[in-house]
Structure 1
Amino acid sequence: MENKNIENEIKLENLTTETILTNLKILSNIKPTDKLTQNGDLLMIDPTDFTQCVKRWWNNNSRIHTMDAIERIIDQTFITIDKIYNSEIQNTVDINVDNNYYYKRVVPENYFKTDNSQQLQILSSELVNAVKGLQNLKLTYVEDISICSKIDIIIDKITIRTSKINKLLTIQTYPKNIPK
């Protein structure tokens, strides 16, 4: 049973942007009393039924493993955001961030790729949506102060990061500098 968790930990190390977005969408769909499980690199909402506790025990799914997976997914999300931002700032293209629209505009096959600012907006939006699910997960584990505290810390990290992204992507105009 312990091997399943080790395999899942390894798989969560290098998530693609698509997998990160999928996991964030799954997090956003958590309802109060829902629990999470993991299948490979994807989170899954564990259906509530009379066999849930037995299945969770058999598969060695616990709230601690769930929190570890959520923390790794959020960390991978932040790493991806940093790569996207750095590729834009440094005018370079990373292996996993091959969508720097501003510098590759002349290449027709890249025309329909999502540019960096759009990717940052999408990730920021999905992080905000995931907070709602995390708040619902807190209701599931309301009696467990350590889990609720971990969830609060994750929510705080997400709030800070999305605030920074929103400030970064805000277009500021100064009326005094606009030519007439």
Structure 2
Amino acid sequence: MDVEEIIINLKILEKLDKNQKLVTRGSYLNIENRSLVPEFVRRWNRQDNRHESIKKINSVINFAMAYIKEHPDDTTFNVKEYLENSKTGISNLKETYSICTQTCSRLDVLIDKINNFLEDK
């Protein structure tokens, strides 16, 4: 994943509001749009679900951390800032899935992972 792809995905995460879900198919994350077709039908058709969303978010986070480690002095792309800001959307996703303890716990782990990484940098 190149740096632009990382930044775009982190910015999409940052913009995720409560009660919105992610589309994880393709290179970029996207936010599920409202439609006449019920959301569960669209997600089923794309084979998209919360497990896939968390896997994709984790992948983006891992690529962002690897980029920061490999380019510690890079001031052109402030990936650290984008990574920090992505926690907003992840927290909102937690609210979206608040009735699922497992999903909330997995999202908590991702937020903790970001916090621990950024504390060390």
| TM-score > 0.5 by shorter chain | yes
Contact 2:25/2:48, CA 8 A, preserved across alignment: no
Residue 15 of structure 2 aligns to which amino acid in structure 1? Answer: N
Distance across 1 between alignment mates of 2:119 and 2:81: 11
The structural deviation recorded for 1:119 is 4.7
Q: How many residues align?
A: 120
Which 4+ residue blocks in structure 1 deviate beyond 4 angstroms? none
What are the equivalent positions in structure 2 for 1:66-145 lying under 5 Å apart? 66-85=53-72, 116-119=73-76, 122-145=78-101
User: What's the TM-score once normalised by structure 1's chain length?
Assistant: 0.63
CA RMSD of aligned residues (A): 1.4
Residue 33 of structure 1 aligns to a residue whose secondary structure is coil
Counterpart code for 2:64: T
Give the corresponding residue for 1:60. Answer: 47
SS in 2 for 1:118: coil
Structure 1: give runs of 5+ residues left out of the alignment: 1-14, 86-115, 166-180
Measured against aligned partners, the alpha-carbon deviations of 1:16-54 in whole angstroms (never above 9, x if no partner) come to 000000000000000000000124110000113452111
5+ residue gaps, structure 2: none
- TM-score, structure 2 normalization: 0.92
Superposition pairs for residues 2-81 of structure 1, below 5 Å? 15-50=1-36, 51-81=38-68
Aligned in 2, Cα 1:40/1:76: closer, same or farther, shift over 3 Å?
A: same
CA distance, structure 2, for counterparts of residue 49 and residue 152 of structure 1: 30
Contact 2:24–2:52, Cα closer than 8 Å, also in 1: no
Distance 1:144 1:48 in 2: 23
Distance 1:59 1:67 in 2: 16
Q: 1:147-158 counterparts in 2 under 5 A? A: 147-158=103-114
Instruction: Please identify the structure whose Cα radius of gyration is greater.
Output: 1
In structure 1, the residue corresponding to 2:95 is in which secondary structure?
helix
Whole-angstrom CA distance in 2 between matches of 1:53 and 1:20: 28
Contact 1:34 1:48 in 2 (8 A): no
CA shift digits 1:140-176 (9 cap, x unpaired) = 00011111111101101111222222xxxxxxxxxxx
